[in-house]
Chain A
Amino acid sequence: MKKSILIIIEGLIIGTSLSMGAGGDVNVETTVITSEIIDTEVENSSVGVNVETARGSSVDIKDTISTSHIENSSIENSSIGVDAHAQSGQHIEIKNNTNIVDISDSSIKHANIGISNKTHK
């Protein structure tokens, strides 16, 4: 019989999170991100690398390896892996990255799994 432990994560950021009120460029380089979520419920949360800036000019994600393994879990309104946002952004560059996503027996709703990168006017 398979023993399972249910873990509930809500409104949390796990991993690296940076939020800058008046930041400029966002660079995520030479980074290894592993996210393993098993028998877990994740809601309104970020697992991995989460970066937000205001008045950012560019978002670069380079030379990274991101793996996300999600098994028998529920992910809702959350981001798993790398999530970078820059307000007033000008340029996005995603270069030399490897991104592996493995999802089984899970429910994913309104979530970003892998690399999510967004600039806003």
Chain B
Amino acid sequence: MKKLTLVLTGLLLVGTTSVFAVSATATTTAPATPAAEPAATGGSVSVDGVAIGSAIQSSEVTGSSVGVRATADGGDVSISEVAVGSAIESSTVESSTVGVAVKATSGGTVDVSNTAVGSAIQGSTVKGSNVGLAVD
């Protein structure tokens, strides 16, 4: 757990400092032929090797998601090697998710491993929300 927290800090610094220096390359690909229609009951969610840092200050967040949000119809949910840091100060967060929110309807198994979640909330109001890691 301690190791993952340190990794998060390092990644935060890397992300913040390098993001303006590295040129953006967006590669979005799709096959030319349409994919076969998948079965309606299938589907899975995998979140692996992800670092999320969310800071909210003197703000109002309603009915929103901040961080990573994944929703799939049916299937298994797998979350591993994830570090989540959320800091909320003097803010109102209502009916929202801050951090990682994964939802799989008609889902199968849920597997969460090697995950570190840290949340710091100060002088704020949080109602009907998920802060940190939420699996539904």
Within 8 A of A (CB), among B51-81: 51-75
Task: Name the 3 nearest CB pairs between A and B, nearest first.
Answer: A24-B35, A57-B35, A22-B34
Interface residues of B (CB under 8 A from A): 11-12, 14-16, 18-20, 22-31, 33-40, 42-75, 96
The distance from the CB of A36 to the nearest CB of chain B, in whole angstroms, is: 10
Any chain B CB within 8 A of the CB of A67? yes
The distance from the CB of A91 to the nearest CB of chain B, in whole angstroms, is: 5
Q: Give chain A's interface residue range (CB within 8 Å of chain B).
A: 35 or more
Query: Whole-angstrom distance between the alpha carbons of A77 and B131 in the complex?
Result: 21
CB of B65 within 8 A of CB of A98, answer no
Within 8 A of B (CB), among A65-121: 65, 67, 75, 88-121
CB of B54 within 8 A of CB of A116, answer no
CB of B73 within 8 A of CB of A108, answer no
CB of B24 within 8 A of CB of A107, answer no
Which chain B residues border A116 with CB–CB below 8 Å? 65, 68-70
The distance from the CB of B52 to the nearest CB of chain A, in whole angstroms, is: 5
Select which of A27, A108, A111, A118 is within 8 A of B27 by beta carbon. A27
Within 8 A of B (CB), among A1-47: 15-16, 18, 20, 22-34
